[in-house]
Amino acid sequence: MIKKLRNFIVNPDGQLQTQGKKVTVNHLIPVAQGQLTKLNWKHIKSTPRTKMSVKRAVTVCSLDVALDILKGPLPPEDTVGTHTYLKQCHKLFQISNKNSEVDPTCYKQLLSIMIWFDNWCGEVKQNSWQAASGLKDHWKQFIPHIAYKDLKRSIRAFLGVVQYVQMDHPEIHIIPKTMCQDDVENYFSLPRARVAGGKPTTLHFF
């Protein structure tokens, strides 16, 4: 999910917009140029190989980058959309990737993330009837609908599992990171590590 959310913002043709404010990769360029965070061009200009890296996606969707945007040369009121989007992505990953027992305070945080995306979707939907361009183009201001559904499904599933375990199996300790990682994906990294840099890691290639 964090890789998908990263892809939407680094897309050079992206048209994301919330509350009249753009969510765009152009706001990340001064951060990369300033070199105050770990963000650099390889995070913004991703390739089919590098975009598979969760670590690079986390670097883009980090609190450090979100805060550094506000310190850059662009007016804060122009970058508030990108700044807020990155903060929501950062909170989602931090909760899902936690190595310690689940914190009850994360419930409200997850719900606030889902509500933020719900409000964004509602805003685009409400304004769609007065869109000058086509309806399809208007919805480009929002993340793809399938990703939006996946995001909500992930949050609801996480909260549902936590609630079930705490009610019926209170002796079990829930570690969010172990619930949200895909063990099968670890096997994908093994052949990828054995391929020379830049070559595709596709079935046809192997």
Closest CA to 1 of 139, 140, 114, 124: 114
Q: Which ranges of 11-144 does DSSP label H, i.e. alpha helix?
A: 29-34, 41-44, 54-60, 63-71, 76-96, 106-127, 135-138
Query: Residue 62: which of 79, 80, 85 has the closest Cα?
Result: 85
Domain ranges of the chain: 2-193
* C-alpha distances in Å from residue 120, one per residue of 113, 125, 141, 151: 11, 9, 9, 13
Per-residue pLDDT at 13: 86
Q: How far is CA 67 from CA 27, 37, 63, 85, 139, in A?
A: 12, 10, 6, 12, 28
Q: What percentage of the chain reaches a pLDDT higher than 90?
A: 44
Residue 65 and residue 28 in contact, taking contact as beta carbons nearer than 8 Å: yes
Q: Is the pLDDT of residue 202 over 80?
A: no
- CA-angle at 91, arms to 163 and 148, nearest 5°: 75
**Tens digit of each residue's pLDDT (9 = 90 or more) over 86-139:** 999 999 999 988 888 888 888 899 999 999 999 999 999 888 776 555 667 788
pLDDT at 201 over 70: no
CA distances from 36 to 30, 46, 74, 161 (A): 10, 20, 16, 39
User: What confidence category does residue 185 fall into, taking pLDDT thresholds of 50, 70 and 90?
Assistant: low
Alpha-carbon distance of 6 to 55, in angstroms, equals 11
| Residue 81, C-beta contacts closer than 8 angstroms, at least 6 positions apart | 16, 17, 18, 19, 21, 22, 23, 24
Alpha helices in 63-105 (DSSP H): 63-71, 76-96
Q: Which of 94-98, 130-134, 154-158, 159-163 has the lowest mean pLDDT?
A: 130-134
* Predicted local confidence at residue 41, as pLDDT: 86
Closest CA to 23 of 120, 94, 136: 120
Other CB atoms within a 10 A radius of the CB of residue 97 amount to 14
Q: What is the pLDDT of residue 195?
A: 65
Cβ distance 68 to 35 under 8 Å? Answer: no
pLDDT at 43 over 60: yes
